[in-house]
Amino acid sequence: MNDTALPLESFENCHRKYSGPVFIIASGPSVLDFPIEKYRNYPMIAMNGSICCLQENNVQPLFYLCDDIGVVAAHKEAFRLGVENAKYCCLGDRVIFNAQQQIPGIFDGRKIYMMQRVNRFLGGKAVSDRRFAWCARSNPDFEVEWSLFNQKKNRIGFSRNLCKGYFNGRTIAYSAVQLAYHLGFDKIFLVGVDMGGKAEQFYFCEAAGSMGRSRILEDFPKYILPSFDLMSRKVINKSFSVFNLSASSRIPGTIVPKINIASLDKMLSYSNKTN
């Protein structure tokens, strides 16, 4: 169901369309230490305010992601840059609705995918998180936790197919990894996924030193870390790998391996030779 009166792209058309490595560019402070221009020829996925860093380096992302209506309200310039500069946009349903109201014409001529959370599809009837997780256990498109006693665990999962929705994980970076899997990329490199103790994010296209507050401190132990842990245990394998280029990231290297630029270059060199 599409109540946006907006022509939308179908996730079916981009399912497994790509392959190889992709960079996911987040908004953590460590993104400033990453030489984006050096890897400009590789596909990149930007999100929220990180689009400003790519724009400063004249790099067009393959996708721009946003599922937070707060970005539309408080960071319109960043959002506008994402929509106007990315080849494709992958936006939450509420983001699309709010952006149409606040920035008329923003989507004119743009290729927009509407991402919806699992069990929350527009026009569909949602069941309890526990019942959904129980039913999804046998679905090959999903990996889920399930608990009879802990309701929060039933909200933890990973979607391999965005036609069927995505798990929020309380961080857009986790949504981006699910998108990357859906698209067919098999080596995912996280940039700026710090999850720092100050719970702050950079929005480069606004005033110098401007920061956006987030709920990372509250959500990290309850949702973010368990989501990445599930991904590490049930999704990552020989044919799908995820690496973190943030040495200071709160996500442990035992869950998502941390690498430096030298290791990155070796992986990319090997990937280029085998493709």
pLDDT at residue number 272: 79
Q: How many helices (H) and strands (E) does the chain have?
A: 10, 11
Q: What local confidence, expressed as pLDDT, does residue 151 receive?
A: 78
- 46-84 pLDDT, tens per residue? 999 999 999 999 999 999 999 999 999 989 999 999 999
Looking from the CA of 254 toward its CB, the CA atoms found within 13 Å total 2
DSSP states of 199-259 = -EEE-TTSSTT-EEE-SHHHHIIIIIHHHHHHHHHHT-BTTBEEEE--TT-SS-TTTS-B-
Do 63 and 18 touch, CB atoms closer than 8 A? Answer: no
Query: Quick check: 232 pLDDT over 50?
Result: yes
> Rounded to whole angstroms, how far apart are CA atoms 220 and 18?
30
Query: How many beta carbons lie within 10 A of that of residue 104, not counting itself?
Result: 9
pLDDT at 209: 46
Q: If you average pLDDT over residues 23-29, what whole number do you get?
A: 94
Q: Residues 123-151: what's their mean pLDDT?
A: 87
In whole angstroms, give the CA distance from residue 31 to residue 249.
11
pLDDT digits (tens, 9 = 90+) for 190-205: 999 999 755 456 665 6
Q: Is the pLDDT of residue 1 over 50?
A: no
Contact status, residue 191 vs residue 25, Cβ threshold 8 Å: yes
pLDDT score of 127 more than 90: no
Is it the case that residue 109 has pLDDT exceeding 50? yes
SS3 letters for 62-121? CEEEECCHHHHHHCHHHHHHHHHHCCEEEEEHHHHHHHHHHCCCCCCCCCEEEECECCCC
Ranking 35-39, 43-47, 117-121 by mean pLDDT, the lowest is 117-121
Contact between 223 and 170 under an 8 Å Cβ cutoff? The reply is yes
Q: Rounded to whole angstroms, how far apart are CA atoms 267 and 258?
A: 13
Q: Around 226, how many Cα atoms within 13 Å sit in the side-chain half-sphere?
A: 19
pLDDT score, position 216: 82
Q: Residue 25 in 3-state DSSP?
A: strand
The token pair at 12 is: 């079916």
* Backbone φ, ψ for residue 41 (5° rounding): -85, -5
Alpha-carbon distances, residue 177 vs 126, 149, 191, 240, 257 (angstroms):
24, 28, 12, 11, 15
Rounded Cα distance, 99 and 67, in Å:
11
Position 208 confidence tier, pLDDT thresholds 50, 70, 90? very low
CATH 3.40.1110 correct for 11-248: no
**What's residue 198's pLDDT?**
55
88 backbone dihedrals φ, ψ, rounded to 5°: -135, 155
Q: Where are the domains of the chain?
A: 11-248
Write down the mean pLDDT value for the chain.
Answer: 91
